C-alpha cells in the first residue's frame, strides 16, 4: 500500500528523478519491478501515479463545478439563474470551507497527539460501543412511537375536516303540490336530500393532496430533526467515554455527519384517485344525492384505511433500515479511517499542504 502523498511526490518530480530522496527511489523501484505492466512507459507510469495520488477525483470534482456553472449561465430565466447560481456558490463555498479546515488540521495537528487519539480510540471502543448502541436502540423506539402518532393524528384531523365539509354541503328541500278541485282538493309535500357534488368533489381532491403532502413532508421534517437528535446522542456518548482532550471534536463531527448522511431512508408516496361516480358537479337531489353521499362515506372510510396502512408500511420499512445499522461500528470505523488519513497527511505535511493549497486556489478561482 503506497500513500497518495509519496505517489504525488513521484508524479510531481517525475522528470527530475535525480532529486528523489531515498524513500521515493525505494517506492519507485518497488512499483516499477513488481508492477511492470503499469509502470513500463512514461505515459503509463504518469497515469497510474496520478490514480494512486487521487488527483483524478479532485479534478473531476472541479470539472463538475465548472460544468454546473456553465449550465447555470446558459439558463434564460433570471429567477431560475439566480436560484441555481446561489446553489452553486453555496456548494463551492462548502468545498472551500472543507478544504480550509483540512489545511488548518494538517498545519495544527501534532503527530504524537494523533497517535494518542488513535490508541485511545481502541481503548474506549468496546465500552463506548455498548453504550452507543443502547442509546441508538432507545432513540429508534422513540422514533417509531412519535412519528407514527404524529402522522396518524395529522391524518385524523384532515379526515375530520373533510367529513365536516361533506356534512355542510348536504341539505334538504321540500316540494309541495295540490291535487283535485273544490271539495276534493288535497295538498301534498315531500322532503328530499340535496348535496353540492362539486363542492364535495373539490373537498375530496383537496384531502387526497393534503394527505399525500402531509405524509411525505412531515416524515421528512421529522427525520431531519431525528438525525440532529441522533448526532447529539453520538457526540455526547463519545465525549463522555473518551473526554474532549482525547478527541478531535471537528473530526468527530465530520465523521458522524458522514455516517448519518449515508443512511438511505425509504421514500413514502401516497396518491388516491376519485372513482368516476364521485367525479361529478352541480347539485344532486333525491336518490342521486343519497347514493352520492353513501359513496362519499365509503370512499372516505377506504381512504382512511389505506392511509393508515401506508403509514404503517413506511414506518416498518424505516425501522428495518435503521435496525440493520450498527451505529457504533459505523462511527468508529469511519473515525479511525479519518484519523489514519490525518496521520498520513501529517507524515507528508509539506506535500499535502501544497496539494490542498492548490486545490483551494482552484476552488476559489472557480467561485470568482
Nearest to 205 by CA among 168, 156, 166: 166
Name the 3-class secondary structure at 301. helix
Q: Provide the pLDDT for residue 301.
A: 92
pLDDT score of 332 more than 90? no
Residue 210: what pLDDT? 85
List, as one string, the DSSP characters of 47-73. Answer: HHHHHHTTHHHHHHHHHHHHHHHHHHH
Give me Rg for the CA atoms of the chain. 34
306 alpha-carbon distance from chain centroid: 26
Q: What is the pLDDT of residue 269?
A: 63
Nearest residue to 226 (alpha-carbon basis) of 138, 313, 311: 138
Q: Minimum mean pLDDT among 206-220, 315-329, 354-368: which range? A: 354-368
Predicted pLDDT at 156: 92
**Grid cell for residue 355:** 496539494
Q: Indicate whether 333 pLDDT > 60.
A: yes
Percent of the chain with pLDDT over 90: 13
Within 13 A of 3's CA, how many CA atoms are on the CB side?
A: 17
Half-sphere exposure of 131 (CA within 13 A, CB side): 15
Average pLDDT, the chain: 81
- Host H or E run for residue 30: helix 22-34
Higher pLDDT, 312 or 70: 312
CA-wise closest residue to 247 among 136, 336, 333:
336
Alpha-carbon torsion (135, 140, 142, 147), positive or negative: positive
Asked if 347 and 111 count as a contact pair (C-beta separation under 8 A), the reply is: yes
Residue 153 pLDDT level (bands cut at 50, 70, 90): very high
Grid cell, residue 55, equals: 488527483
Instruction: From 303, 286, 295, select the one nearest 195 (Cα to Cα).
Output: 286
| pLDDT value of position 218 | 86
Model-wide pTM > 0.85: no
Residue-range domain boundaries for the chain: 113-325
Q: How confident is the model at residue 341 (pLDDT cuts 50, 70, 90)?
A: confident
Distance of CA 298 to the CA centre of its chain: 37
Per-residue pLDDT at 157: 92
Per-residue pLDDT, averaged over 267-295, amounts to: 83
Between 168 and 220, name the one with better pLDDT: 168
Average pLDDT over residues 338-356: 82
pLDDT of residue 3: 54
Q: How confident is the model at residue 366 (pLDDT cuts 50, 70, 90)?
A: confident
Q: Who has greater pLDDT, 73 or 283?
A: 283
Averaged over 336-362, what is the pLDDT? 82
Q: In the predicted model, is pLDDT for residue 368 greater than 80? A: no
Mean pLDDT of 206-223: 84
Q: Note the pLDDT of residue 367.
A: 65
248 backbone dihedrals φ, ψ, rounded to 5°:
-95, 95
Q: How far is CA 15 from the centre of its chain?
A: 46
pLDDT category, 290, cuts 50, 70, 90? Answer: very high
Share of the chain above pLDDT 70, in %: 86
Identify the pLDDT of residue 1: 41
The alpha carbon torsion through 202, 217, 85, 259 (nearest 10 deg) reads -160
Structure confidence at residue 58 (pLDDT): 57
Write down the pLDDT at residue 295: 93
pLDDT at 179: 85
- Average of pLDDT values for 108-125? 81
SS3 for 55? helix
- Grid cell locating 54: 487521487
Query: 267-271, 277-281, 350-354: lowest mean pLDDT where?
Result: 267-271
What pLDDT does residue 298 have? 93
Amino acid at each position: 500500500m503506497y500513500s497518495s502523498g509519496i505517489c504525488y511526490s513521484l508524479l510531481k518530480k517525475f522528470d527530475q528523478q535525480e532529486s528523489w530522496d531515498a524513500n521515493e527511489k525505494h517506492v519507485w523501484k518497488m512499483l516499477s519491478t513488481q508492477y511492470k505492466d503499469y509502470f513500463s512507459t512514461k505515459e503509463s507510469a504518469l497515469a497510474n501515479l496520478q490514480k494512486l495520488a487521487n488527483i483524478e477525483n479532485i479534478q473531476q470534482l472541479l470539472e463538475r463545478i465548472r460544468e454546473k456553472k456553465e449550465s447555470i449561465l446558459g439558463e434564460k430565466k433570471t429567477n431560475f439563474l439566480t436560484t441555481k447560481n446561489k446553489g452553486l456558490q453555496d456548494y463551492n463555498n462548502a468545498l472551500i470551507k472543507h478544504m480550509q479546515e483540512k489545511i488548518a488540521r494538517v498545519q495544527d495537528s501534532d503527530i504524537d497527539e494523533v497517535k494518542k487519539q488513535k490508541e485511545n480510540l481502541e481503548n474506549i471502543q468496546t465500552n463506548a460501543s455498548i453504550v452507543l448502541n443502547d442509546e441508538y436502540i432507545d432513540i429508534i423506539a422513540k422514533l417509531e412511537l412519535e412519528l407514527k402518532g404524529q402522522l396518524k393524528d395529522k391524518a385524523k384531523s384532515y379526515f375530520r375536516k373533510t367529513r365536516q365539509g361533506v356534512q355542510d354541503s348536504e341539505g334538504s328541500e321540500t316540494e309541495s303540490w295540490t291535487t283535485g278541485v273544490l271539495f276534493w282538493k288535497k295538498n301534498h309535500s315531500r322532503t328530499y336530500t340535496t348535496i353540492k357534488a362539486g363542492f364535495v368533489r373539490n373537498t375530496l381532491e383537496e384531502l387526497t393532496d393534503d394527505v399525500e403532502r402531509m405524509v411525505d413532508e412531515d416524515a421528512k421534517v421529522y427525520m431531519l430533526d431525528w438525525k440532529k437528535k441522533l448526532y447529539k446522542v453520538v457526540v455526547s456518548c463519545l465525549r463522555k467515554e473518551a473526554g474532549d482532550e482525547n478527541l478531535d471534536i471537528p473530526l468527530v463531527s465530520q465523521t458522524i455527519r458522514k455516517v448519518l448522511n449515508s443512511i438511505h431512508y425509504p421514500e413514502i408516496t401516497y396518491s388516491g384517485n376519485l372513482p368516476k361516480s364521485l367525479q361529478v358537479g352541480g347539485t344532486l337531489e333525491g336518490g342521486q344525492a343519497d347514493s352520492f353521499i353513501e359513496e362519499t362515506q365509503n370512499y372516505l372510510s377506504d381512504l382512511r384505511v389505506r392511509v393508515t396502512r401506508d403509514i404503517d408500511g413506511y414506518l416498518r420499512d424505516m425501522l428495518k433500515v435503521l435496525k440493520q445499522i450498527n451505529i457504533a461500528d459505523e462511527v468508529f470505523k469511519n473515525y479511525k479511517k479519518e484519523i489514519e488519513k490525518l496521520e498520513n497527511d501529517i507524515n507528508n505535511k509539506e506535500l499535502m499542504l501544497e496539494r490542498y493549497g492548490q486545490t483551494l486556489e482552484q476552488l476559489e478561482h472557480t467561485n470568482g
